[in-house]
Amino acid sequence: ETGVTQSPTHLIKTRGQQVTLRCSSQSGHNTVSWYQQALGQGPQFIFQYYREEENGRGNFPPRFSGLQFPNYSSELNVNALELDDSALYLCASSSKTGVDYGYTFGSGTRLTVV
């Protein structure tokens, strides 16, 4: 079975720009969650998508938005980038919405905002 694939692996953007990060779920998984991991910190929950609908959101402003497609792949969009958005963005897929069923994490996209 394929794992979770994220693209790109690294990205440099300028403050104020917009960025789109992509995630391909593991085969058979219909739920995708996104996390932000700042340097030296643990990951923080951004939101979860289940069957193309947002299914929970963490404490992130509306300029963080997402999409899930019929094939369960997902995008994370961030508008009006700020320096503090520099982080590793992790995508995790699962076969059910509950964390107790187990997540498979991708290797992440490292975003640097300058």
Residues that bind another protein (CB under 8 A): 4, 33, 35, 40-45, 48, 55-56, 58, 90, 92, 97-100, 102-103, 105-108
Joined tokens for residue 16: 């104020």
**Residue 48 or 74: which CB sits closer to another protein?**
48
Contact 55, 2 (CB under 8 A): no
Q: How far apart are CA 10 and CA 25, in angstroms?
A: 19
Task: Select 17 or 107, whichever has its Cβ closest to another protein.
Answer: 107
Q: Are 13 and 114 spatial neighbours (Cβ–Cβ below 8 Å)?
A: yes
Cis peptide preceding 8, ω within 30 of 0? yes
Q: 15 vs 96, which CB is nearer to another protein? A: 96
| Residue number, 13 or 110, with CB nearest to another protein | 110
d(CA 86, CA 38): 7
Alpha-carbon torsion 32, 45, 23, 16, what sign? positive
